[in-house]
Amino acid sequence: MKNHVKEFAKVDIALLEEEQASELFMFHAFKHANSVTNDFKNISMEIIKAHEGLPLNLEILAYYLCDICDWKYGKMHYMN
């Protein structure tokens, strides 16, 4: 099997520091919001910690949350 399977090099991904991760997530998740409530900041920090600063995870999840929710008014209004 080794003859038929290419070996791939392991790639080290740079993790973001908490402040950088927060900026990235907030930018994509709340891009339409004028201000973000403390509740949303707390939820965001939990998400950031759970994903350990992996930039692609944070960006994709933030886009997803922004697409399914209307964050403009500081409350989660689900869009149909």
Q: How many residues does the chain have?
A: 80
- The structural domains of the chain, with segments of one domain joined by +, span 18-78
Per-residue model confidence (pLDDT) at position 64: 85
Longest Cα–Cα distance in the chain: 58
Strand partners for 69: 78
The predicted-structure confidence for 53-73, as pLDDT tens digits, reads as follows 899 999 999 988 877 765 544
State how far the Cα of 13 lies from the Cα of 11, in Å rounded to an integer. 6
pLDDT above 50: residue 27: yes
Average pLDDT for 23-27: 89
Q: Tens digits of per-residue pLDDT, 36-56?
A: 778 888 888 999 999 998 999
d(C-alpha 27, C-alpha 68), whole Å: 16
| Residue 29: C-alpha distances to residues 15, 41, 79 (Å) | 19, 11, 15
- What pLDDT, on the 0 to 100 scale, is given for residue 67? 72
